[in-house]
Structure 1
Amino acid sequence: MLSSPGVMACSRTCSRILGLSLGTTALFAAGANTVLLFPNWDVSYLLRGLIGRQAMLGSGLWGGGLMVLIAATLISLTGWRYGCFSESGPCQSMLTALLSSSLAFLGALICFITSGVALKDGPLCMFDASSFNQMQAWKYGYPFKDLHNRNYLYDRSLWNSVCLEPSKAVIWHVSFFSTLLCISLLQILLVVIHFINSFLGLFCSLCEK
């Protein structure tokens, strides 16, 4: 059975791994959200303001990206006991863990919810509005929000027949928002593990004393 110092060392090692993992996922989240701003690698849609509201919200940049990255930095500093964290006691470490966990959880949750809503609404694209009993023939909008009896995520025949511009708009939208959804879910899982790890570290420290 591990002694308390051994458990503490294991807890710090776990924090280092979790900090690195969260930091990596934050960079991937920021990258995925950035790509969503340039459909088909074309900057003209961003310049014309023809980017979906969820992509423009940028939750993958500041939520699953920056907020999680800051939390990951705090977790890593605690694990490596660097700088002002070199002499931190168990209670200070737990306070830092609570702060970093809350920050990362909030950022990941915002990114998760935004990605889910984006997948539900579908992409912003040019479509034939006359097929939806509207006067204007061609316009930009969210055509899949009006398909109440058909779910475009499961009916792939709609992917190339509804959106006319950008080309492959649905594939681009689904691919990268699904990536953001999975990344944010992984981040939430890592945050939960970090909180449990920090609690065990605090408990063992108090027992040792």
Structure 2
Amino acid sequence: ALSSPCRMACTRTCSRILGLSLGSAALCAAGANLALLFPNWDVTYLRRGLIGRHAMLGSGLWGGGLMVFAAATLISSMGWRAGCFSKSGPCRNMLAALLSSGLALLGALVCFLTSGVALKDGPFCMFDVSSLNQTQAWTYGYPFKDLPNRNYLYDRSLWSSVCLEPSEAVVWHVSFFSTLLCISLLQLLLGVIHFINSLLGLLCSLCEKQ
């Protein structure tokens, strides 16, 4: 069986890896959300206020980005600080673990839910709202949100025929919100792993003291 110091080193190494992974994921989430603010890398839509509410909410920036990055920094510091589990005390260790895990899980969960709703509602774009025998009328909105009996995610023929502007609006929306969804799911998994790892480290410190 592994000695207690060896197990302690394993938990610290795991914290370093988790911190680095969460930090990298947070930067990717922030980058994906930033891209959603500039469809086709065009700043015009942001200046004119023609960005969807899901992207403007910025859950990938402050949730999956800033909150998770702050948690990653704390997790990494726990891993690099020598003897962090054995010298700081069980209560302080548990508090740090709960704080870092809570930050990561909350930020990732907000980003995950927002991305899921965004994919369900579809992109914010200009589309034709005119009906038969009426003049053409274009407006900005969510053309796929209340589309009866058709799901745009599975019907690729709608991607280029409904949204008139920005060009490739559906591809841009689906690509980056799907990326955010996957990143936030990974962050949730890493947050749970970190909490379990922290519990193991706490048990090791208690056994070492005994």
TM-score range, shorter chain: over 0.9
* 2:85–2:202 Cα contact (<8 Å) kept: no
1:96 has 2:104 as partner? no
Q: For 2:28 and 2:182, how far apart are their aligned partners in 1? A: 11
* 2:126–2:140 Cα contact (<8 Å) kept: yes
Q: For 2:147 and 2:65, how far apart are their aligned partners in 1? A: 32
**Secondary structure of 2:164's partner?**
strand
Q: Residue type matched to 2:36 in 1?
A: L
Q: Which residue of 1 aligns with 2:43?
A: 43
Q: Residue type matched to 1:154 in 2?
A: Y
Q: Residue type matched to 1:94 in 2?
A: M
Alignment of 1:183-198 (within 5 A): 183-198=183-198
Q: Residue type matched to 2:48 in 1?
A: R
* 1:74–1:100 Cα contact (<8 Å) kept: yes
* 1:144–1:152 Cα contact (<8 Å) kept: yes
* 1:112–1:185 Cα contact (<8 Å) kept: yes
Instruction: Calculate percent identity across the aligned residue pairs.
Output: 82
Q: For 2:182 and 2:133, how far apart are their aligned partners in 1? A: 36
Alignment of 1:77-96 (within 5 A): 77-81=77-81, 87-96=87-96
Which shows bigger deviation, 177-186 or 124-133? 124-133
After superposition, give the CA deviation of every residue in 1:3-40 in whole Å (9 maximum; x if it has no partner): 11111110000000000000000000000000000000
> How has the CA–CA distance of structure 1 residues 196 and 180 changed in structure 2, closer, same or farther, with 3 Å as cutoff?
same
* 1:90–1:201 Cα contact (<8 Å) kept: no
> How has the CA–CA distance of structure 1 residues 207 and 118 changed in structure 2, closer, same or farther, with 3 Å as cutoff?
same
* 1:33–1:61 Cα contact (<8 Å) kept: yes
- Superposed structure 1 runs of 4+ greater than 3 Å apart: 84-87, 131-136
Q: Which residue of 2 aligns with 1:23?
A: 23
User: What are structure 1's unaligned runs of at least 5 residues?
Assistant: none
Q: Residue type matched to 2:190 in 1?
A: L
> How has the CA–CA distance of structure 1 residues 175 and 46 changed in structure 2, closer, same or farther, with 3 Å as cutoff?
same
* 2:130–2:138 Cα contact (<8 Å) kept: yes
| Offset of residue 91 of structure 1 | 2.9
Q: Which residue of 2 aligns with 1:179?
A: 179
Q: Which residue of 2 aligns with 1:202?
A: 202
Q: For 2:205 and 2:13, how far apart are their aligned partners in 1? A: 15
User: What are structure 2's unaligned runs of at least 5 residues?
Assistant: none
1:114 has 2:114 as partner? yes
RMSD over aligned Cα atoms: 1.9
Instruction: Give TM-score scaled by structure 1 length.
Output: 0.95
* 1:129–1:135 Cα contact (<8 Å) kept: no
User: How many residue pairs were aligned?
Assistant: 208
